[in-house]
């Protein structure tokens, strides 16, 4: 029994160390971006977000929070920062989708766009997800750090939907995620410890909320499909009775 408890304590200790390392890495990224954005303002935030769309190894949410922080420090207007951030996010996502749509998987891999995650195996895996879950995958991608670029590129490569449809879905998702991070940075600009704690909670909360939303939509879709199938079955049976 003592041995089992020691294993549990060891696991908890490992998780605590992982959490501390994760937060320390985010603080370093945050401080680096804040320093850079303080010197270059809106244009820096805009272009870094575009590069995030290409799979740049800088978390998009940290970039958005950094933009919010310089607004909270009085170096930018937070509402303009929100609009600039929306434009950068959507443009970066749109470029990845368009390149995939126009030039295909080989072009993206040859030019190292989308980062290491854009492997052929991963593209095939995303294709299966798109076939199974449809446009919900594009919506959910906005809330999955590290996988946005490959999902958006694959949606383009497979010509899963038109650009207008893609930008509407991605835009709706961005209207949820972007203001959360920008305004979180704005209100936590002078309270870094509080900010990092809510950053950690926010990531988990957003993922849970999106997961719950996908489950609800999936259940509703399944029920609707079953109702339609039952209606067709009843119509077929009634037609057979009339002809009989």
Give the separation between CA 82 and CA 21, rounded to whole angstroms.
29
Tell me the three state secondary structure of residue 76.
coil
What is the sign, positive or negative, of the torsion defined by CA atoms of 133, 91, 208, 14?
A: positive
Neighbours of 223 (CB within 10 A): 10
Asked if residue 229 is part of any domain, the answer here is no
Residue 192 lies in a domain: yes
CA separation for the pair 77, 88 (Å, rounded):
16
Dist CA 141 CA 49 (whole Å)? 16
User: What is the distance between the terminal CA atoms of the chain, rounded to a whole angstrom?
Assistant: 73
Residue with tokens 């072009």: 107
Question: How many domains does the structure of the chain reveal?
Answer: 1
Residue 61 in any domain: the answer is yes
The verdict on residue 234 lying in a domain is no
pLDDT digits (tens, 9 = 90+) for 130-181: 888 888 889 888 887 778 888 898 999 999 999 999 999 999 999 988 998 8
Question: What residues in the chain have per-residue pLDDT under 70?
Answer: 1-29, 111-117, 192-235, 237-244
Please indicate, yes or no, if residue 189 is contained in any of the structural domains.
yes
CB-neighbour burial class of residue 122 (10 A; exposed 0-12, middle 13-18, buried 19+)? middle
Decide if 231 is inside a domain: no
Contact 88, 150 (CB under 8 A): no
What CA–CA distance (Å, rounded) separates 178 from 61?
A: 8
- Cβ atoms of 47 and 89 within 8 Å: the answer is no
pLDDT by residue (tens digit) across 66-76?
Answer: 899 899 888 89
Domain extent, residue 8, equals 2-217
Structure pTM? 0.68
Largest CA distance in the chain: 82
CA distance 208 to 206: 5
Query: Do 120 and 156 touch, CB atoms closer than 8 A?
Result: no
Q: Is residue 240 part of a domain?
A: no
In a domain, 224, yes or no: no
C-alpha 157/C-alpha 239 separation (Å) is: 44
Looking at residue 14, what is its pLDDT? 46
Residues 6+ apart with CB under 8 A from 221: none
What's the pLDDT score for residue 228?
A: 59
């Amino acid at each position: 029994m003592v041995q089992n408890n020691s294993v549990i304590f060891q696991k908890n200790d490992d998780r605590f160390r992982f959490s501390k390392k994760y937060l320390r890495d985010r603080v370093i990224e945050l401080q680096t971006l804040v320093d850079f954005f303080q010197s270059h303002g809106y244009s820096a935030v805009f272009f870094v977000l575009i590069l995030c769309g290409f799979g740049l190894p800088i978390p998009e949410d940290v970039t958005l929070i950094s933009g919010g922080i310089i607004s909270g420090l009085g170096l930018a207007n937070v509402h303009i920062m929100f609009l600039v951030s929306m434009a950068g996010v959507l443009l970066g996502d749109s470029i990845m989708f368009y390149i995939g749509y126009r030039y295909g998987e080989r072009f993206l891999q040859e030019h190292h766009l989308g980062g290491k995650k854009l492997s052929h195996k991963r593209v095939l895996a995303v294709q299966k997800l798109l076939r199974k879950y449809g446009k919900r995958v594009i919506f959910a991608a906005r809330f999955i750090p590290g996988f946005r670029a490959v999902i958006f590129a694959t949606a383009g490569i497979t010509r899963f939907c038109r650009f207008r449809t893609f930008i509407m879905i991605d835009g709706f998702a961005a209207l949820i995620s972007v203001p959360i991070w920008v305004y979180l940075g704005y209100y936590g600009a002078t309270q870094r410890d509080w900010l990092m704690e809510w950053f950690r909670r926010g990531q988990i909360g957003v993922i849970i909320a999106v997961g719950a939303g996908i489950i609800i939509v999936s259940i509703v879709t399944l029920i609707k499909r079953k109702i339609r199938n039952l209606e067709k079955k009843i119509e077929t049976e009634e037609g057979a009775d009339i002809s009989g």
